[in-house]
Amino acid sequence: MKLLFVADLKDGQQVVSLFLVSSKEIRTSAKSGRSWLQLELSDRTGRIDGKMWDRFEDAGALFGCDDIVKVQGRAKMYNDQIELTVEQVLPAQETDYDLADFFPHTKEDVEKLYAKLRDAVAKTENPWIKRLLTSVVEDPAVAPKLKRAPAATTMHHAFLGGLLEHTVSVIGLMQGVADHYPELDRDLLLAGVVLHDIGKTEELSYARGFGYSTEGQLIGHIALGLGLVRRKIDAIPNFPRPLAVLIEHMILSHHGSYEFGSPKLPQCREAVALHYLDDLDSKMGAMRATLEGVGGEGEWTERNPSLRRNLLRKDDFLSGGPAKKSAAAPASAPAEPAPVQGSFSLKK
């Protein structure tokens, strides 16, 4: 069982634990000519850089990316970040670990989230949309992936179950917006919410690490999702073509602009609403992850890549908490506009 996690590591601490290898490469200093094995190690609490300076050629040949390894080393502070000086690394046996220790997971109950999704679909009044959505979310080939897939690899909801959590969250936002703007077609908007990211079940790989499938790299989730939805629509006899076009348009336009990957711009009320609902939930999810993280200095977090800025830990600021001695924001580039959008033995 894994007892020591990335979030627990402190400067000067001797480390003996298991980690997932997220990346590995041999690097050479242009100045000194010295080479080392550069690793990115991770578990469900975060990621940490590791450097192995001695006897790394033979050690590095024993494992690859997405492998679980046993690491012995020492944590140290470097450029205001904790990293590991690796002394020894060996492949771990499958009996040594539980994969759940290495992948972040939604804090919500996945089955309860799935029940909320099915309940929203069941309340759909448009019979065509209801049949389409039911055919997707209850498809035995889709549902298990929908329950497990992350919504992204890094930006937002980047954890197992993240796609389902994100979808159900946007449904909650949608309900309030649809009440406020009665001119919106609630069922059409729901179709967009449920289906806009469905292609991520195929775009992302999440069996041993978060990344992209070959199809995801070559095609992307918008096109993959569009293909899935078209197949489901084609399987429903006499599905109204104009309705199909609107649903497809919402999938194609939900990123909001060409700059951020939308093949089309949102051109109906429901498509515009979907884009902003999706963008809001994505940004708030990214902020939550950054604010709950351990990086940064004092009242300020590390830089949020989605919003392109450091974030203020408001509660610390208001209470005069741990950041009292460091009230100034960390030096960084000016903010840019946000896009729309246990122990073991190691032997040689």
pLDDT band at residue 88 using 50, 70 and 90 as cut-offs: very high
Residues 60 and 200 in one domain: no
Q: How large is the angle between the packed helices 162-180 and 110-122, nearest 10 degrees?
A: 40
**Same-domain pairing of 141 and 52:** no
Strand partners, 69: 19, 91
Q: Which helix (H) or strand (E) holds 227?
A: helix 221-234
Domains in the chain, number: 3
Q: DSSP label at 322?
A: T
How many of the other CB atoms lie within 10 Å of CB of 258? 10
Whether 85 is in a domain gets the answer yes
Residue of 334 and 189 predicted with greater confidence: 189
Whether residue 228 is found in the same domain as residue 279: yes
Selection from 80-84, 126-130, 222-226, 279-283 with the highest mean pLDDT: 126-130
| CA distance linking residue 212 with residue 200, whole number of Å | 9
**Structural domain of 11:** 6-101
Two tokens, residue 51? 């450097």
Structural domain includes residue 234? yes
Share of the chain above pLDDT 90, in %: 56
Other CB atoms within a 10 A radius of the CB of residue 331 amount to 7
Phi, psi of 294 (to 5 degrees): -105, -5
Q: Are residues 263 and 116 in the same domain?
A: yes
- Of 65, 23, 51, the C-alpha closest to 208 is 65
Please indicate whether residue 124 or residue 332 has the higher confidence score (pLDDT).
Answer: 124
116-173 tens-digit pLDDT: 999 999 999 999 999 999 999 999 999 999 998 887 766 667 788 899 999 999 999 9
Label the pairing between strands 68-78 and 46-52: unpaired
Q: Are 158 and 151 in contact (CB under 8 A)?
A: yes
Considering the domain boundaries, does residue 324 fall inside one?
no
d(CA 167, CA 123): 16
Put residue 257 in one of left, alpha, beta given phi > 0 → left and psi -120 to 50 → alpha: beta
HSE value, Cβ hemisphere, 13 Å, CA-based, for 181 = 14
